[in-house]
A and B are shown apart, each in its own frame.
Chain A
Amino acid sequence: MLHTNIIANTNTINILPLQVKNLQIVKKGNLLLNDVSLNIESNDVTIILGPNGAGKSLLLRTAHGLEAPTQGSLKWNTTVPLPQQSWRAYIFQKPVLLRRSVRANLEYVLSLHDVDKNDYDSLINSALEYTGLSSLAERNARVLSGGEQQRLNIARAWILQPKAILLDEPTAELDPSGTAAIEQLIKTIAEQGTKIIMTTHDLGQAHRLANDILFFHQGKLIEHTPAKDFFKYAQTQSARDFIDGKLLTGSIEK
Protein backbone atom coordinates (compact mmCIF):
# COMPACT_ATOMS: atom_id res chain seq x y z
CA MET A 1 0.00 0.00 0.00
CA LEU A 2 1.35 3.40 -0.88
CA HIS A 3 1.60 5.98 1.76
CA THR A 4 -0.51 8.32 -0.31
CA ASN A 5 -3.18 5.66 -0.01
CA ILE A 6 -2.88 5.70 3.77
CA ILE A 7 -3.37 9.42 3.78
CA ALA A 8 -6.28 9.07 1.37
CA ASN A 9 -7.73 6.38 3.58
CA THR A 10 -7.25 8.22 6.80
CA ASN A 11 -8.84 11.24 5.26
CA THR A 12 -11.90 9.30 4.29
CA ILE A 13 -12.16 7.43 7.59
CA ASN A 14 -14.40 9.16 10.05
CA ILE A 15 -13.37 7.64 13.33
CA LEU A 16 -15.61 9.68 15.58
CA PRO A 17 -17.73 9.34 17.56
CA LEU A 18 -15.94 7.02 19.95
CA GLN A 19 -18.75 5.16 21.60
CA VAL A 20 -18.33 3.44 24.95
CA LYS A 21 -21.27 1.43 26.25
CA ASN A 22 -21.47 -0.15 29.72
CA LEU A 23 -17.73 -0.85 29.61
CA GLN A 24 -16.52 -3.03 32.45
CA ILE A 25 -13.00 -4.34 33.02
CA VAL A 26 -12.24 -6.86 35.73
CA LYS A 27 -8.70 -8.01 36.47
CA LYS A 28 -7.81 -10.60 39.07
CA GLY A 29 -11.22 -10.13 40.64
CA ASN A 30 -10.88 -6.36 40.89
CA LEU A 31 -13.44 -4.18 39.19
CA LEU A 32 -11.24 -1.56 37.52
CA LEU A 33 -13.68 0.07 35.12
CA ASN A 34 -17.26 0.04 36.29
CA ASP A 35 -20.13 0.47 33.83
CA VAL A 36 -18.59 3.32 31.82
CA SER A 37 -20.65 4.80 29.02
CA LEU A 38 -19.67 7.85 27.01
CA ASN A 39 -19.57 9.42 23.56
CA ILE A 40 -16.71 11.49 22.21
CA GLU A 41 -17.79 13.37 19.14
CA SER A 42 -15.78 16.56 18.76
CA ASN A 43 -12.47 16.38 16.89
CA ASP A 44 -10.33 18.23 19.46
CA VAL A 45 -8.52 17.56 22.75
CA THR A 46 -10.17 15.33 25.34
CA ILE A 47 -8.40 15.03 28.67
CA ILE A 48 -9.01 12.29 31.20
CA LEU A 49 -8.54 13.35 34.82
CA GLY A 50 -8.78 11.55 38.09
CA PRO A 51 -6.71 10.29 41.02
CA ASN A 52 -4.40 7.30 40.75
CA GLY A 53 -6.19 4.06 40.14
CA ALA A 54 -9.28 5.77 38.81
CA GLY A 55 -9.05 3.84 35.53
CA LYS A 56 -7.79 6.66 33.29
CA SER A 57 -5.00 4.73 31.62
CA LEU A 58 -7.11 1.63 31.39
CA LEU A 59 -9.72 3.44 29.30
CA LEU A 60 -6.99 4.82 27.06
CA ARG A 61 -5.42 1.40 26.62
CA THR A 62 -8.76 -0.15 25.81
CA ALA A 63 -9.26 2.54 23.18
CA HIS A 64 -6.03 1.36 21.50
CA GLY A 65 -6.85 -2.31 21.73
CA LEU A 66 -4.24 -2.98 24.41
CA GLU A 67 -6.95 -4.17 26.80
CA ALA A 68 -10.10 -6.14 26.06
CA PRO A 69 -13.43 -5.27 27.72
CA THR A 70 -14.72 -7.78 30.24
CA GLN A 71 -18.21 -6.59 29.46
CA GLY A 72 -19.70 -3.84 27.37
CA SER A 73 -18.05 -2.30 24.34
CA LEU A 74 -15.77 0.44 23.07
CA LYS A 75 -16.12 1.30 19.40
CA TRP A 76 -14.47 3.73 17.09
CA ASN A 77 -16.59 4.68 14.15
CA THR A 78 -14.63 2.61 11.64
CA THR A 79 -14.37 -0.86 10.23
CA VAL A 80 -10.64 -0.81 9.53
CA PRO A 81 -9.22 -3.96 11.19
CA LEU A 82 -6.40 -3.82 13.71
CA PRO A 83 -3.41 -4.70 11.50
CA GLN A 84 -4.00 -1.48 9.56
CA GLN A 85 -4.24 0.54 12.71
CA SER A 86 -2.07 3.30 11.31
CA TRP A 87 -4.98 5.72 11.75
CA ARG A 88 -4.50 5.57 15.49
CA ALA A 89 -1.36 5.91 17.60
CA TYR A 90 -0.53 5.49 21.27
CA ILE A 91 2.04 7.40 23.33
CA PHE A 92 3.33 5.85 26.54
CA GLN A 93 4.44 7.90 29.51
CA LYS A 94 7.95 6.53 29.09
CA PRO A 95 8.86 5.99 25.47
CA VAL A 96 10.65 2.74 24.63
CA LEU A 97 12.90 3.72 21.76
CA LEU A 98 14.87 1.24 19.70
CA ARG A 99 18.64 1.09 20.06
CA ARG A 100 19.35 2.82 16.78
CA SER A 101 19.38 6.30 15.34
CA VAL A 102 16.47 8.74 15.53
CA ARG A 103 15.98 8.34 11.79
CA ALA A 104 16.05 4.53 12.03
CA ASN A 105 13.42 4.61 14.76
CA LEU A 106 11.07 6.43 12.39
CA GLU A 107 11.99 4.12 9.53
CA TYR A 108 11.11 1.14 11.73
CA VAL A 109 7.54 2.39 12.21
CA LEU A 110 7.11 2.87 8.47
CA SER A 111 8.41 -0.65 7.86
CA LEU A 112 5.65 -2.03 10.12
CA HIS A 113 2.96 -0.52 7.93
CA ASP A 114 3.67 -1.40 4.30
CA VAL A 115 4.69 2.11 3.34
CA ASP A 116 6.34 2.48 -0.06
CA LYS A 117 10.10 2.66 0.48
CA ASN A 118 10.38 5.52 -2.00
CA ASP A 119 8.36 7.65 0.40
CA TYR A 120 10.52 6.91 3.47
CA ASP A 121 12.90 9.85 3.12
CA SER A 122 10.30 12.53 2.58
CA LEU A 123 8.05 11.20 5.35
CA ILE A 124 10.90 10.89 7.83
CA ASN A 125 12.27 14.32 7.02
CA SER A 126 8.92 16.01 7.44
CA ALA A 127 8.32 14.18 10.75
CA LEU A 128 11.76 15.26 11.97
CA GLU A 129 11.10 18.82 10.95
CA TYR A 130 7.64 18.80 12.47
CA THR A 131 8.96 17.71 15.87
CA GLY A 132 12.14 19.80 15.70
CA LEU A 133 14.47 16.80 15.65
CA SER A 134 16.12 17.35 12.25
CA SER A 135 19.50 18.16 13.77
CA LEU A 136 19.40 15.00 15.89
CA ALA A 137 18.44 12.64 13.07
CA GLU A 138 21.61 10.55 13.18
CA ARG A 139 21.96 10.49 16.98
CA ASN A 140 21.38 7.29 18.91
CA ALA A 141 17.79 7.54 20.14
CA ARG A 142 18.71 6.11 23.54
CA VAL A 143 21.04 8.97 24.43
CA LEU A 144 18.52 11.76 23.79
CA SER A 145 17.19 13.84 26.69
CA GLY A 146 13.79 12.96 28.12
CA GLY A 147 12.07 15.74 26.22
CA GLU A 148 13.76 14.82 22.95
CA GLN A 149 12.84 11.19 23.44
CA GLN A 150 9.19 12.09 23.94
CA ARG A 151 9.28 14.30 20.84
CA LEU A 152 10.65 11.37 18.87
CA ASN A 153 7.89 9.26 20.39
CA ILE A 154 5.35 11.72 19.04
CA ALA A 155 7.13 11.89 15.69
CA ARG A 156 6.85 8.11 15.58
CA ALA A 157 3.08 8.45 16.02
CA TRP A 158 2.62 11.45 13.73
CA ILE A 159 4.59 10.03 10.79
CA LEU A 160 1.71 7.73 9.84
CA GLN A 161 -0.75 10.66 9.75
CA PRO A 162 -3.13 9.11 12.29
CA LYS A 163 -6.68 10.37 12.84
CA ALA A 164 -6.32 9.93 16.60
CA ILE A 165 -3.41 9.97 19.04
CA LEU A 166 -3.85 8.60 22.54
CA LEU A 167 -1.34 9.86 25.10
CA ASP A 168 -0.84 8.44 28.58
CA GLU A 169 0.65 11.17 30.80
CA PRO A 170 3.13 12.18 28.08
CA THR A 171 4.84 14.86 30.17
CA ALA A 172 4.88 13.18 33.59
CA GLU A 173 8.65 12.71 33.55
CA LEU A 174 9.63 15.94 31.80
CA ASP A 175 10.92 19.27 33.05
CA PRO A 176 8.88 22.46 32.37
CA SER A 177 10.61 23.33 29.09
CA GLY A 178 10.23 19.77 27.83
CA THR A 179 6.61 19.84 28.87
CA ALA A 180 6.00 23.12 27.06
CA ALA A 181 7.47 21.74 23.83
CA ILE A 182 5.28 18.64 23.99
CA GLU A 183 2.15 20.68 24.80
CA GLN A 184 2.86 22.92 21.80
CA LEU A 185 3.20 19.87 19.58
CA ILE A 186 -0.06 18.39 20.85
CA LYS A 187 -1.86 21.67 20.27
CA THR A 188 -0.60 21.94 16.69
CA ILE A 189 -1.46 18.33 15.93
CA ALA A 190 -4.97 18.82 17.29
CA GLU A 191 -5.46 22.03 15.34
CA GLN A 192 -4.57 20.17 12.14
CA GLY A 193 -7.47 17.79 12.68
CA THR A 194 -6.13 14.84 14.66
CA LYS A 195 -8.23 13.74 17.62
CA ILE A 196 -6.26 13.85 20.90
CA ILE A 197 -7.23 11.87 23.97
CA MET A 198 -4.79 12.06 26.84
CA THR A 199 -4.51 11.47 30.56
CA THR A 200 -2.64 13.79 32.89
CA HIS A 201 -2.07 14.53 36.55
CA ASP A 202 -1.31 18.14 35.75
CA LEU A 203 -4.43 20.29 36.21
CA GLY A 204 -2.69 23.27 34.64
CA GLN A 205 -2.00 21.19 31.56
CA ALA A 206 -5.65 20.17 31.43
CA HIS A 207 -6.54 23.88 31.64
CA ARG A 208 -4.20 24.78 28.81
CA LEU A 209 -5.11 21.98 26.39
CA ALA A 210 -8.51 20.46 27.08
CA ASN A 211 -11.71 21.09 25.18
CA ASP A 212 -13.57 18.56 27.27
CA ILE A 213 -12.79 16.65 30.44
CA LEU A 214 -13.55 13.08 31.45
CA PHE A 215 -13.30 12.81 35.25
CA PHE A 216 -12.86 9.32 36.66
CA HIS A 217 -12.91 8.14 40.25
CA GLN A 218 -12.69 4.54 41.49
CA GLY A 219 -13.34 3.06 38.06
CA LYS A 220 -16.41 5.16 37.36
CA LEU A 221 -16.93 8.02 34.97
CA ILE A 222 -18.08 10.83 37.29
CA GLU A 223 -18.28 13.77 34.90
CA HIS A 224 -17.95 14.42 31.20
CA THR A 225 -18.14 18.17 30.65
CA PRO A 226 -16.60 20.95 28.52
CA ALA A 227 -13.33 22.00 30.10
CA LYS A 228 -14.35 25.58 30.94
CA ASP A 229 -17.42 24.32 32.78
CA PHE A 230 -15.48 21.60 34.61
CA PHE A 231 -13.07 23.96 36.26
CA LYS A 232 -15.67 26.55 37.17
CA TYR A 233 -18.75 24.56 37.98
CA ALA A 234 -17.81 20.96 38.63
CA GLN A 235 -21.03 19.22 39.51
CA THR A 236 -19.81 16.60 41.97
CA GLN A 237 -18.11 16.94 45.32
CA SER A 238 -15.31 14.56 44.36
CA ALA A 239 -14.50 16.57 41.23
CA ARG A 240 -14.50 19.81 43.25
CA ASP A 241 -12.23 18.20 45.84
CA PHE A 242 -9.94 16.99 43.07
CA ILE A 243 -9.71 20.45 41.54
CA ASP A 244 -9.00 21.89 44.99
CA GLY A 245 -6.16 19.42 45.43
CA LYS A 246 -7.77 17.45 48.25
CA LEU A 247 -7.11 13.74 48.71
CA LEU A 248 -10.00 11.67 47.42
CA THR A 249 -10.65 8.74 49.66
CA GLY A 250 -14.33 8.58 50.42
CA SER A 251 -17.10 6.91 48.52
CA ILE A 252 -18.55 8.37 45.38
CA GLU A 253 -21.54 10.66 45.63
CA LYS A 254 -23.34 12.26 42.74
Chain B
Amino acid sequence: MNDFSQAFAKALQLIFQLDPALLEIIGLSLRVSLTAVFIASLIGLPLGAALALYKFPGRGIIVALLNAFMGLPPVVVGLVVYLILSRSGPLGVLGLLFTPTAMIIAQVCLITPIVAALTRQTIMDANDEYHEQLRALGAKASRMMKTLLWETRFSLMTGVFAGFGRAIAEVGAVLIVGGNINHATRVMTTAIALETRKGDIELALALGIILITLSLIVTSLVMSAKHAAYQYHS
Protein backbone atom coordinates (compact mmCIF):
# COMPACT_ATOMS: atom_id res chain seq x y z
CA MET B 1 0.00 0.00 0.00
CA ASN B 2 3.05 2.20 0.51
CA ASP B 3 3.66 2.05 -3.25
CA PHE B 4 0.19 3.25 -3.83
CA SER B 5 0.42 6.26 -1.54
CA GLN B 6 3.75 7.18 -3.09
CA ALA B 7 2.31 6.92 -6.57
CA PHE B 8 -0.69 8.91 -5.43
CA ALA B 9 1.48 11.70 -4.02
CA LYS B 10 3.50 11.89 -7.23
CA ALA B 11 0.31 11.93 -9.25
CA LEU B 12 -1.01 14.90 -7.28
CA GLN B 13 2.32 16.63 -7.74
CA LEU B 14 2.06 16.23 -11.52
CA ILE B 15 -1.43 17.67 -11.47
CA PHE B 16 -0.65 20.69 -9.32
CA GLN B 17 2.56 21.47 -11.18
CA LEU B 18 0.42 21.68 -14.32
CA ASP B 19 2.82 19.33 -16.04
CA PRO B 20 2.85 20.42 -19.72
CA ALA B 21 2.71 16.87 -21.05
CA LEU B 22 -0.28 16.23 -18.83
CA LEU B 23 -2.02 19.43 -19.96
CA GLU B 24 -1.46 18.61 -23.61
CA ILE B 25 -3.06 15.20 -23.17
CA ILE B 26 -6.03 16.57 -21.23
CA GLY B 27 -6.51 19.34 -23.79
CA LEU B 28 -6.63 16.92 -26.68
CA SER B 29 -9.01 14.59 -24.80
CA LEU B 30 -11.45 17.42 -24.18
CA ARG B 31 -11.14 18.75 -27.70
CA VAL B 32 -11.81 15.38 -29.28
CA SER B 33 -14.64 14.31 -26.98
CA LEU B 34 -16.40 17.70 -26.86
CA THR B 35 -16.34 17.94 -30.62
CA ALA B 36 -17.60 14.38 -30.88
CA VAL B 37 -20.45 14.99 -28.47
CA PHE B 38 -21.34 18.23 -30.28
CA ILE B 39 -21.56 16.49 -33.64
CA ALA B 40 -23.31 13.47 -32.15
CA SER B 41 -25.94 15.82 -30.68
CA LEU B 42 -26.43 17.58 -34.00
CA ILE B 43 -27.20 14.17 -35.52
CA GLY B 44 -28.70 12.31 -32.57
CA LEU B 45 -31.20 14.85 -31.24
CA PRO B 46 -33.18 15.39 -34.47
CA LEU B 47 -32.78 11.73 -35.44
CA GLY B 48 -34.12 10.52 -32.10
CA ALA B 49 -36.98 13.02 -32.23
CA ALA B 50 -37.88 12.02 -35.79
CA LEU B 51 -37.86 8.34 -34.82
CA ALA B 52 -40.19 9.13 -31.93
CA LEU B 53 -42.64 11.27 -33.87
CA TYR B 54 -42.75 10.10 -37.47
CA LYS B 55 -43.55 6.81 -39.08
CA PHE B 56 -41.49 6.08 -42.15
CA PRO B 57 -40.21 2.97 -43.89
CA GLY B 58 -37.13 1.52 -42.21
CA ARG B 59 -37.87 3.14 -38.87
CA GLY B 60 -38.02 -0.19 -37.04
CA ILE B 61 -34.67 -1.23 -38.46
CA ILE B 62 -33.03 2.06 -37.47
CA VAL B 63 -34.40 1.77 -33.93
CA ALA B 64 -33.14 -1.82 -33.61
CA LEU B 65 -29.74 -0.78 -34.96
CA LEU B 66 -29.51 2.17 -32.56
CA ASN B 67 -30.24 -0.05 -29.59
CA ALA B 68 -27.73 -2.63 -30.76
CA PHE B 69 -25.07 0.02 -31.38
CA MET B 70 -25.58 1.53 -27.94
CA GLY B 71 -23.82 -1.40 -26.33
CA LEU B 72 -21.21 -1.90 -29.01
CA PRO B 73 -17.65 -2.40 -27.68
CA PRO B 74 -15.51 0.63 -28.62
CA VAL B 75 -12.83 -1.63 -30.12
CA VAL B 76 -15.29 -2.89 -32.71
CA VAL B 77 -16.25 0.66 -33.63
CA GLY B 78 -12.55 1.54 -33.74
CA LEU B 79 -11.78 -1.40 -35.98
CA VAL B 80 -14.55 -0.56 -38.43
CA VAL B 81 -13.59 3.12 -38.56
CA TYR B 82 -9.96 2.05 -38.99
CA LEU B 83 -10.81 -0.18 -41.94
CA ILE B 84 -12.77 2.66 -43.53
CA LEU B 85 -10.13 5.35 -42.97
CA SER B 86 -7.12 3.14 -43.64
CA ARG B 87 -5.22 3.96 -46.82
CA SER B 88 -6.52 0.68 -48.22
CA GLY B 89 -10.06 1.51 -47.13
CA PRO B 90 -12.83 3.36 -48.99
CA LEU B 91 -11.98 6.75 -47.45
CA GLY B 92 -8.21 6.21 -47.36
CA VAL B 93 -7.54 9.05 -49.80
CA LEU B 94 -8.56 11.56 -47.15
CA GLY B 95 -5.50 10.63 -45.10
CA LEU B 96 -7.41 10.97 -41.83
CA LEU B 97 -6.07 7.91 -40.04
CA PHE B 98 -4.00 8.64 -36.92
CA THR B 99 -5.33 12.20 -36.65
CA PRO B 100 -7.64 13.75 -34.03
CA THR B 101 -10.29 13.95 -36.76
CA ALA B 102 -10.27 10.16 -37.05
CA MET B 103 -10.71 9.90 -33.28
CA ILE B 104 -13.63 12.33 -33.42
CA ILE B 105 -15.25 10.27 -36.17
CA ALA B 106 -14.89 7.07 -34.13
CA GLN B 107 -16.36 8.70 -31.03
CA VAL B 108 -19.23 10.19 -33.02
CA CYS B 109 -20.05 6.67 -34.24
CA LEU B 110 -19.83 5.46 -30.66
CA ILE B 111 -22.08 8.01 -28.98
CA THR B 112 -24.58 9.11 -31.62
CA PRO B 113 -26.63 5.93 -30.94
CA ILE B 114 -26.71 6.79 -27.23
CA VAL B 115 -27.87 10.35 -27.81
CA ALA B 116 -30.40 9.28 -30.45
CA ALA B 117 -31.84 6.38 -28.46
CA LEU B 118 -32.22 8.43 -25.26
CA THR B 119 -33.71 11.31 -27.25
CA ARG B 120 -36.18 8.95 -28.89
CA GLN B 121 -37.31 7.60 -25.52
CA THR B 122 -37.60 11.06 -23.98
CA ILE B 123 -39.51 12.53 -26.92
CA MET B 124 -41.83 9.51 -27.09
CA ASP B 125 -42.75 9.93 -23.43
CA ALA B 126 -43.20 13.67 -23.83
CA ASN B 127 -45.27 13.16 -26.95
CA ASP B 128 -47.67 10.92 -25.03
CA GLU B 129 -48.17 13.77 -22.62
CA TYR B 130 -48.23 16.75 -24.99
CA HIS B 131 -49.46 15.51 -28.33
CA GLU B 132 -53.21 15.98 -27.91
CA GLN B 133 -52.84 19.28 -26.11
CA LEU B 134 -50.53 20.76 -28.73
CA ARG B 135 -52.76 19.49 -31.51
CA ALA B 136 -55.78 20.99 -29.80
CA LEU B 137 -53.93 24.30 -29.53
CA GLY B 138 -53.30 24.18 -33.26
CA ALA B 139 -49.60 23.25 -33.44
CA LYS B 140 -48.36 21.77 -36.70
CA ALA B 141 -46.00 18.77 -36.84
CA SER B 142 -42.75 20.69 -37.31
CA ARG B 143 -43.62 23.10 -34.53
CA MET B 144 -44.59 20.20 -32.29
CA MET B 145 -41.15 18.62 -32.68
CA LYS B 146 -39.43 21.89 -31.83
CA THR B 147 -41.67 22.39 -28.80
CA LEU B 148 -41.07 18.85 -27.52
CA LEU B 149 -37.29 19.17 -27.89
CA TRP B 150 -37.33 22.41 -25.92
CA GLU B 151 -39.75 21.14 -23.27
CA THR B 152 -37.55 18.11 -22.58
CA ARG B 153 -34.25 19.98 -22.77
CA PHE B 154 -33.10 18.93 -19.32
CA SER B 155 -33.81 15.27 -19.90
CA LEU B 156 -32.10 15.48 -23.28
CA MET B 157 -29.06 17.02 -21.66
CA THR B 158 -28.64 13.91 -19.51
CA GLY B 159 -28.38 11.92 -22.75
CA VAL B 160 -25.78 14.30 -24.13
CA PHE B 161 -23.76 14.12 -20.91
CA ALA B 162 -23.99 10.33 -20.93
CA GLY B 163 -22.58 10.42 -24.45
CA PHE B 164 -19.74 12.67 -23.33
CA GLY B 165 -19.00 10.37 -20.41
CA ARG B 166 -18.71 7.40 -22.73
CA ALA B 167 -16.57 9.33 -25.22
CA ILE B 168 -14.05 10.71 -22.74
CA ALA B 169 -13.67 7.38 -20.94
CA GLU B 170 -13.34 5.00 -23.87
CA VAL B 171 -9.96 3.72 -24.95
CA GLY B 172 -10.51 1.00 -27.55
CA ALA B 173 -11.66 3.09 -30.48
CA VAL B 174 -9.29 6.05 -30.15
CA LEU B 175 -6.34 3.70 -29.64
CA ILE B 176 -6.94 1.98 -32.95
CA VAL B 177 -7.79 4.98 -35.12
CA GLY B 178 -5.58 7.50 -33.31
CA GLY B 179 -2.55 5.31 -32.77
CA ASN B 180 -1.68 6.91 -29.42
CA ILE B 181 0.98 9.08 -31.07
CA ASN B 182 2.85 11.26 -28.62
CA HIS B 183 2.05 14.99 -29.09
CA ALA B 184 -0.45 14.16 -31.85
CA THR B 185 -3.17 11.72 -30.87
CA ARG B 186 -2.41 10.74 -27.28
CA VAL B 187 -5.43 11.24 -25.04
CA MET B 188 -6.02 10.46 -21.38
CA THR B 189 -7.30 6.93 -21.80
CA THR B 190 -4.66 5.80 -24.28
CA ALA B 191 -1.97 7.41 -22.16
CA ILE B 192 -3.27 5.56 -19.10
CA ALA B 193 -3.21 2.29 -21.01
CA LEU B 194 0.33 2.98 -22.21
CA GLU B 195 1.75 4.07 -18.87
CA THR B 196 0.16 1.13 -17.10
CA ARG B 197 1.70 -1.17 -19.68
CA LYS B 198 5.06 0.40 -19.02
CA GLY B 199 4.49 -0.05 -15.32
CA ASP B 200 4.71 3.74 -14.86
CA ILE B 201 1.93 3.98 -12.36
CA GLU B 202 2.32 7.67 -11.33
CA LEU B 203 1.40 9.28 -14.64
CA ALA B 204 -1.33 6.71 -15.21
CA LEU B 205 -2.72 7.44 -11.77
CA ALA B 206 -2.53 11.23 -12.26
CA LEU B 207 -4.49 10.87 -15.48
CA GLY B 208 -6.86 8.48 -13.75
CA ILE B 209 -7.53 11.02 -11.02
CA ILE B 210 -8.28 13.70 -13.60
CA LEU B 211 -10.55 11.33 -15.49
CA ILE B 212 -12.42 10.49 -12.29
CA THR B 213 -12.72 14.20 -11.46
CA LEU B 214 -14.04 14.90 -14.94
CA SER B 215 -16.61 12.14 -14.75
CA LEU B 216 -17.62 13.38 -11.29
CA ILE B 217 -18.20 16.82 -12.82
CA VAL B 218 -20.17 15.28 -15.67
CA THR B 219 -22.19 13.15 -13.27
CA SER B 220 -23.05 16.14 -11.12
CA LEU B 221 -24.05 18.06 -14.24
CA VAL B 222 -26.29 15.14 -15.16
CA MET B 223 -27.76 15.12 -11.69
CA SER B 224 -28.44 18.84 -11.65
CA ALA B 225 -29.99 18.56 -15.09
CA LYS B 226 -32.20 15.77 -13.78
CA HIS B 227 -32.99 17.85 -10.74
CA ALA B 228 -33.94 20.80 -12.92
CA ALA B 229 -36.09 18.50 -15.06
CA TYR B 230 -37.77 17.17 -11.94
CA GLN B 231 -38.42 20.65 -10.60
CA TYR B 232 -40.10 21.63 -13.83
CA HIS B 233 -42.16 18.47 -13.68
CA SER B 234 -43.58 18.87 -10.22
Point out residues on A near B: beta carbons under 8 Å: 64, 66, 83, 85-86, 89-90, 92, 95-96, 98-99, 108-109, 112-113, 140, 142-143, 156
Contact for B132 among A66, A83, A156, CB less than 8 A:
A66
**Which residues of A lie under 8 Å from residue B227 when comparing CB positions?**
none
Whether B6 sits at the interface, judged by CB under 8 Å, is no
CB pair A83–B138 under 8 Å, yes or no, is: yes
Chain A CB within 10 Å — which of B136, B139, B140, B234 has the most?
A: B136
Known contacts A112-B143, A142-B233, A142-B234; A86 and B136 CB within 8 A of each other: no
Contact for B151 among A64, A90, A98, A112, CB less than 8 A:
A98
Whether B16 sits at the interface, judged by CB under 8 Å, is no
**Which residues of A lie under 8 Å from residue B136 when comparing CB positions?**
64, 66, 89-90, 92
Shortest Cβ gap from B120 to chain A (Å) = 20
The contact string, 1 if C-beta is below 8 Å from chain A, for chain B 124-160, is 0000011011111111100100010001000000000
Nearest-CB residue, chain B, relative to A160:
B138
**Which residues of B lie under 8 Å from residue A89 when comparing CB positions?**
136
Chain A CB within 10 Å — which of B133, B143, B233, B234 has the most?
A: B133
Number of interface residues of B (CB under 8 A): 17
Whether B54 sits at the interface, judged by CB under 8 Å, is no
CB pair B234–A112 under 8 Å, yes or no, is: no
Main secondary structure of the interface of A (DSSP, over half): mixed
Contact for B138 among A92, A113, A142, CB less than 8 A:
A113
**How many angstroms from the CA of A95 to the CA of B133 in the assembled complex?**
8
**Which residues of B lie under 8 Å from residue A83 when comparing CB positions?**
138, 140
Whether B56 sits at the interface, judged by CB under 8 Å, is no
**Which residues of B lie under 8 Å from residue A92 when comparing CB positions?**
132-133, 136
**How many angstroms from the CA of A85 to the CA of B139 in the assembled complex?**
10
Which residues of B in the span 152-172 have a Cβ within 8 Å of any Cβ on A? none
Contact for B232 among A64, A90, A99, A113, CB less than 8 A:
A99
Point out residues on B near A: beta carbons under 8 Å: 129-130, 132-140, 143, 147, 151, 232-234
**How many angstroms from the CA of A85 to the CA of B135 in the assembled complex?**
11
Write 26 A-B pairs (CB below 8 A) sorted by A numbering: A66-B132, A66-B135, A66-B136, A83-B138, A85-B138, A86-B138, A89-B136, A92-B136, A95-B133, A96-B130, A96-B132, A96-B134, A98-B147, A99-B233, A108-B137, A108-B147, A109-B137, A109-B138, A112-B137, A112-B139, A112-B143, A113-B138, A140-B232, A142-B233, A142-B234, A143-B234
Shortest Cβ gap from B63 to chain A (Å) = 25
**Which residues of B lie under 8 Å from residue A143 when comparing CB positions?**
234
**Which residues of A lie under 8 Å from residue B129 when comparing CB positions?**
96
User: Across chains A and B, which 5 residue pairs bring their CB atoms closest together, nearest first?
Assistant: A96-B133, A90-B136, A99-B232, A112-B138, A99-B151
Shortest Cβ gap from A78 to chain B (Å) = 15
Nearest-CB residue, chain B, relative to A99:
B232
**How many angstroms from the CA of A25 to the CA of B130 in the assembled complex?**
24
Shortest Cβ gap from B215 to chain A (Å) = 28
Nearest-CB residue, chain B, relative to A84:
B138
Shortest Cβ gap from B54 to chain A (Å) = 19
**Which residues of A lie under 8 Å from residue B130 when comparing CB positions?**
96
**Which residues of B lie under 8 Å from residue A113 when comparing CB positions?**
138
| Besides A66-B132, A156-B137, 20 new A-B residue pairs in contact (Cβ under 8 A), listed by A number | A66-B135, A66-B136, A83-B140, A85-B138, A86-B138, A90-B136, A92-B132, A95-B133, A96-B129, A96-B132, A99-B232, A108-B147, A109-B138, A112-B137, A112-B143, A113-B138, A140-B232, A142-B232, A142-B234, A143-B234
Shortest Cβ gap from A201 to chain B (Å) = 20
Shortest Cβ gap from B230 to chain A (Å) = 11
**How many angstroms from the CA of A25 to the CA of B129 in the assembled complex?**
24
**How many angstroms from the CA of A69 to the CA of B135 in the assembled complex?**
18
**How many angstroms from the CA of A140 to the CA of B232 in the assembled complex?**
8
**How many angstroms from the CA of A90 to the CA of B130 in the assembled complex?**
14
**How many angstroms from the CA of A66 to the CA of B129 in the assembled complex?**
15
**Which residues of A lie under 8 Å from residue B232 when comparing CB positions?**
99, 140, 142
**How many angstroms from the CA of A108 to the CA of B130 in the assembled complex?**
14
**How many angstroms from the CA of A140 to the CA of B136 in the assembled complex?**
22
**How many angstroms from the CA of A143 to the CA of B130 in the assembled complex?**
17
**How many angstroms from the CA of A85 to the CA of B134 in the assembled complex?**
13
**How many angstroms from the CA of A143 to the CA of B137 in the assembled complex?**
21
Chain A CB within 10 Å — which of B130, B138, B151 has the most?
A: B138
**How many angstroms from the CA of A109 to the CA of B133 in the assembled complex?**
11
**How many angstroms from the CA of A108 to the CA of B148 in the assembled complex?**
13
**Which residues of B lie under 8 Å from residue A96 when comparing CB positions?**
129-130, 132-134
